[in-house]
């Protein structure tokens, strides 16, 4: 199964998953392409340095057909499954249709709590603290056309401590994300893409 990635920033999850494939911690997957909508991000040169095929596709490079360009690049790479690694743009209809039920995302809360449009990163952790939750964590989901509304594949929990700040809670959640994503991919693989 060939796995490709969409990333907007540092692509930390993508790096961890690529490392897991290269060290055979995650077997049965090959690396396809990494697409970023931000060529100035650190993941772009990292891919070049590590012989990972990388492409910059954004509204700047494809103002009229960004979605179609992403879909075509994923297909050209022979992609079976797409992993979002901090990708900050909504996936377009053409890509969603071709890769229906084959695009995974990780969200830094226990969905369905604290999901939705503009709920990402520190905004999520702040909402968790404001709600005085006792537990938080991360959720790997199969995405659809609505932000954070797709079926959850796997979740990992962390405690919310009495003295937590957005930074400390965020760090605790990020610490479990890579392993959770890798385990979700194993689960996905065992289910043979049936979700």
Contact between residue 160 and residue 128 where contact means Cβ atoms under 8 Å apart: yes
What confidence tens digit (pLDDT) does each residue in 140-172 have?
A: 999 998 888 999 999 999 999 999 999 999 999
For the chain, what percent of residues have pLDDT higher than 90? Answer: 89
Which domains are seen in the chain, by residue range?
1-100 (3.40.50.170), 104-139+156-195 (3.40.50.170)
Q: Is 107 a catalytic residue?
A: yes
pLDDT at residue 192, as a whole number: 52
Strands (E), 65-151: 81-85, 103-107, 135-142
User: Which pLDDT belongs to residue 190?
Assistant: 85
The predicted pLDDT at position 191 comes to 78
- For residue 15, give the H/E element and its range: helix 12-22
pTM for the full model?
Answer: 0.93
Residue 195: predicted pLDDT: 44
In contact, 5 and 82? CB cutoff 8 Å: yes
- Positions of the chain with pLDDT lower than 50, given as ranges: 193, 195
Q: Which two tokens stand for residue 71?
A: 């879909």
**C-alpha distances in Å from residue 49, one per residue of 12, 24, 37, 52:** 15, 20, 19, 8
Exactly one of 107, 114, 117, 125 is catalytic; name it. 107
């Amino acid at each position: 199964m060939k796995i490709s990635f969409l990333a907007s920033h540092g692509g930390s999850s993508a790096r961890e998953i690529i490392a897991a494939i290269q060290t055979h911690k995650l077997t049965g997957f090959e690396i396809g392409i990494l697409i970023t909508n931000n060529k100035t991000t650190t993941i772009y040169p990292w891919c070049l340095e590590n012989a990972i095929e990388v492409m910059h596709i954004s509204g700047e490079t494809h103002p009229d057909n960004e979605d179609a360009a992403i879909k075509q690049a994923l297909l050209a790479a022979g992609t079976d499954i797409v992993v979002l690694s901090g990708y900050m743009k909504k996936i377009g209809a053409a890509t969603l249709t071709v890769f229906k039920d084959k695009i995974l995302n990780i969200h830094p809360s226990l969905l369905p709590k604290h999901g939705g449009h503009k709920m990402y990163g520190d905004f999520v952790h702040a909402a968790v603290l404001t709600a005085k939750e006792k537990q938080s964590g991360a959720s790997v989901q199969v995405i659809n056309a609505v932000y954070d509304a797709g079926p959850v594949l796997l979740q990992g929990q962390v405690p919310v401590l009495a003295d937590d700040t957005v930074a400390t809670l965020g760090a605790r959640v990020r610490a479990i994300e890579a392993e959770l994503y890798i385990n979700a991919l194993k689960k996905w693989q065992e289910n043979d893409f049936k979700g």
